[in-house]
Amino acid sequence: MSYIIGQFFGLLTPICSIITPFLKKKWQLLVANVLINVLVILNLVLIGQFGSGSYLCFVAIIQSFIALSHTKKGESVGIVEGIIFTLLYVGFGIFGIVTAPDFIPAINYKNMLEILPILGALAQMVSVFVRDEQATRKWLLWNTVFWMIYAAAVGSSVFINDFLAFVSISSALYKYRKKNNDKTPAQKGEP
């Protein structure tokens, strides 16, 4: 029964992920990111995939709240915070690898698969801390690619979310790129 409930939470994530890239404000992107990560944690834990993915989503939630605080104050994120979160993502990711189901202390397919959420989390980390919305979308696209491969490999319904998020982010990148390219240099703020 928990497997079915977990997959249900995974099926809720596309709603957020399709809308997220089209949100205009940075704080809106961050709040949506928190909601998506909560749903992914519930999905992974309930389908029995308690590994690096679930740990890294937890760290991503904390990071999003800190970035939200910076965004509201109009502050930039410091290099120290970036380093701390990089270490947290790698550390929690490695911890997730050794606590993942079917872990064997050797290089094998299952252990290597758990590296994908770490790469996705690092891309997501950069997306949260960059100031420009378009750069945020580009890093989220990388995050989505890594998570899409991971979700497909572990049999999570979040794969549907990741695929739709990939399409949505790509569309938003094109939409906002096109809008920016249509502006004159003076409208873009160039001399």
pLDDT (mean) for 98-109: 64
Q: How far is CA 75 from CA 63, 72, 148, 168, in A?
A: 15, 8, 32, 28
- Measured on CA atoms in the order 157, 144, 85, 12, is the torsion positive or negative? negative
- How many domains are there within the chain? 1
Q: Is residue 188 part of a domain?
A: no
Write the pLDDT tens digit of every residue in 114-147: 888 889 988 987 887 787 888 888 998 999 899 8
pTM: 0.75
Average pLDDT over every residue of 173-177: 85
Residue bearing the bigger pLDDT, 170 or 190: 170
Residue 14 lies in a domain: yes
pLDDT of residue 76: 75
Q: What is the pLDDT of residues 60-96, one digit of tens each?
A: 899 889 888 888 888 877 788 888 988 998 898 888 8
Residue 183 lies in a domain: no
**pLDDT at position 146, please?**
94
Residues near 32 by beta carbon (within 8 Å), at least 6 away in sequence: 16, 19, 20, 23
Does any domain span residue 154?
yes
Task: Please check whether residue 187 lies inside any domain of the structure.
Answer: no
82 within domain boundaries? yes
Domain that holds residue 73: 2-178
What integer pLDDT is reported at residue 111 of this predicted model?
A: 66
Mean pLDDT estimate for the chain: 82
Examine the pLDDT at 42 and tell me if it is beyond 80: yes
Q: What is the DSSP string of 105-138?
A: SS--HHHHHTHHHHHHHHHHHHHHH-S-HHHHHH
Q: Is the pLDDT of residue 188 over 60?
A: no
User: Mean pLDDT across the stretch 92-120?
Assistant: 75
Domain-located, residue 38: yes
In a domain, residue 191? The reply is no
Percent residues over pLDDT 70 in the chain: 86
